[in-house]
Structure 1
Amino acid sequence: MGAGPQKTYAVQRQPAAGSCRYRYEKGEPLEDTSCTPGAISPAVTQATLASTICRKGGYTKGIRPPESVTGPEKRANAASYGYTGRLGDAEYDHLISLELGGDPNDARNLWVEPPDPGHKTGSGANNLKDPVESKLHTAVCSGKTTLKAAQQAIVTDWTTALSRLGLAPADPGARIAVFYAARLPAGQRPSVAAANEEGAPTPWHRPDLDCRG
């Protein structure tokens, strides 16, 4: 457990340079569990959901550390993981996101997350972990799953977190396809059934982002 939200944040010491190693699941980057095991905020519990992450008007904006703190941390953490790509294309990510009660500035809960497969260099940070976190947040606040279960699922493997909790198809390729399909105009969106059909020829299929292996 971390320290929780603070009025002011200090730059946190990061793991030694080169001491952390990325893992990959069907091409998607995962954290080194020894360096980034995750840390939760003591302010967010199942009993405080309505006054914290599920409250109307939002919660995370008011507890997020400033760039003056996260900037130096991100550069140091990139060295920890041996990340040599463009920092602007990587996200300094909360393993347990703030919207799931993750600690805002505990070094155990932050890592430089590389861009997803197929990412265009220089186009900024983008990753498929974000929509997973949003769906878990919705599930927690609607009572479909508990806070603890969502936190454990994201720490275990964010690419399987939704299916582990029965919130999405087990096939990660299908989840990614559905995510991109949602960005198409309504008249061009395929059915969910088509999205879940292995190998189905669809107009929104992105071979460069296919994680079905």
Structure 2
Amino acid sequence: MKQITATGNTVETAIQSALEQLQTSEDQVDAEIIDEGKKGFLGFGTKPAIVKVSIKKNPVQDAETFIYEVAEQMGAPVQVNTEIHQREIYMDLEGEKIAMLIGKRGQTLNSLQYLAQLVVNRESDIFYTVMLDAEGYRGRRKETLENLAQRLAEKAIRTNQEVKLEPMPSYERKIIHTALQDHKKVNTDSDGNDPRRHVVIRPS
């Protein structure tokens, strides 16, 4: 975190000095008064005010920087479009080699999402959820999982045996559960421990 200690005749002038050195505005910083200073009398006993000014943590900027750097190192530079809805950060990646960042069944994208969430929350007082997408991949994956859920539900009914799906992150398991929650002939559960936690479809 970038910070600076500055002095001035008053607290206000000390803060202003720090802002100029940091090249930022007051709404972007946290200021801590170390010493309020002392005016003195006829120039004697004067003591400067001392403040410590720190640039506020910007979780979104940190996450974007992390994604840019990792993508660059992978040889797949990207553009990041970010939206924030309360405590949820949605980041959509665009690039010529986007498939490298998605990986097999979204595994690379899921790993990047997990790491980006760690970066965002490591020094934040507020917990943010990060959702990483890549040129609409999540929507296509959701449709694939919903179709898979229906096919495997029919298999469970036909064979009268439970069907275990491959391990998935929690939000993908939720897609399966939601797709079959109103199904009258099967029930779903999650079994196992992360990262091997998976959905089980059982005939009712």
Which has the higher relative contact order, 1 or 2, with Cα contacts under 8 A spaced 6 or more apart?
1
Higher strand share: 2
**TM-score between the two structures when normalised by the length of structure 2:** 0.25
Larger Rg: 2
**TM-score between the two structures when normalised by the length of structure 1:** 0.24
